[in-house]
Each structure stands twice: as structure tokens, then as C-alpha cells.
Amino acid sequence: MVRSYNDIVSKVLRGGVVASLVSIVAGIVLIFIYGRADGFTISTLANVREPFAQQLRSSLLLPSNFLSGMIHLDGAYFISVGLWILVFTPITVVVISLFEFAERKNIRYVVMSIIVLVNLFVAMFVIR
């Protein structure tokens, strides 16, 4: 049976949330097991009133280090990957929609999906 576009989108959205939750929970468990994450102690991490500069924050967690961080069972990187799965979930839907519009030869909406993806690309890779 050919799955309809709506069903695929629905599955991707749900699957993304589940996958991300699994990774986030794994990260939290690891932080509690090892008592630290990316060189920060658990007491610093949990001291949520700590000012910006003294806290572990996303700008220190570079995507290029995600894989090695996970291999070293660093919880911060598992959480990071979980959060990035969340970010990519709606973006995947735009990509799927682009293919769907292309298949139906709906040129106007192919162009519009591409514009949305360009905006997302700019936000992710151009602006620093």
C-alpha cells in the first residue's frame, strides 16, 4: 500500500519527537551517572541561576564534536543530539513537502518550499 503524504508527515513528526526524547533522557541519565558533562560538574549544571558566562551553554557544544562526545558517553552531547533532532524534525517535513509538490508538478509551491529551506539554511549556516 502506498502511504499518503499526510501519513508520512505525521509519522516523521511523531518519530522525531520520540527519537529526540530518547536521546535527551539518555543524556540526563549519563550526566547523573558520571556527575559531569563537557567538563562542567553536575552542581554547576543544576545551579540554574548561574550567570551566562559561568554556565555550560550551547555555543560550547559544537556539532563537529557531537560524535566524539557521544562515543565518550558525555551526557551533554546526547542532549545536544536530541535537541538537534527536534530542530530537524519540522525541517524534514518541509523537505518531504518539497518532493510531494514536485511530484504533483505544483511549481509555485516547489518554489515556496525552496524559499523556506533557504531561510532555514541561512539561519543555520550563514548567521553566526
Partner 1 sequence: MIGAIGAGIEFLSIVGAGIIAGLLGSLTGLGGGTVLVPVLTLFYGIPIIFATGASLISTIATSAGSASAYVKQRIANVKIGIGLEIATTLGAIVGSLTLVYVRRSGFIWIIFVVFGVVMLSSLVPTIQRTAKEIPPLMKPDWTTRFFQLSGSYYDSKISKKVDYNGIRWWMGEIVMFFAGVISGLLGIGSGAMKVVGMDWAMNLPMKVTTTTSNFMIGITAATGSSIYWFQGYIQPFIAAATAIGVIIGSFFGTKILVRITNTNIRWIFFWVLAFLGFDMLLKGFYMERIISISISEQFGLSVVISIIMLLGLITYFRGKRRLSRG
- Our CB check for partner 1 shows the closer of 71 and 127 to be 127
Site for partner 1 in 109-128 (CB under 8 A): 109, 112-113, 115-116, 119-120, 122-124, 127-128
CB of 44 to partner 1, least distance (A): 8
The DSSP string of 39-106 is TEEHHHHH-TTS-GGGS--GGGS-GGGHHHHHHTT-HHHHHHHHHHHHHHHHHHHHHHHHHHHHHTT-
Local structure of 36: helix, strand or coil:
strand
Among 21, 67, 73, 102, binds partner 1 (CB under 8 A): 21
d(CA 27, CA 78): 5
Query: Contact, 20 vs 86, CB < 8 A?
Result: yes
81 lies in the binding site for partner 1 (CB under 8 A):
no
Query: Contact, 25 vs 81, CB < 8 A?
Result: no
69 lies in the binding site for partner 1 (CB under 8 A):
no
22 lies in the binding site for partner 1 (CB under 8 A):
no
d(CA 57, CA 63): 13
Binding site for partner 1 (CB under 8 A): 6-7, 9-11, 13-14, 16-17, 20-21, 24-25, 27-28, 31-32, 35, 37, 42-43, 45-49, 51-52, 55-61, 76, 79-80, 82-83, 86-91, 93-94, 97, 101, 106, 108-109, 112-113, 115-116, 119-120, 122-124, 127-128
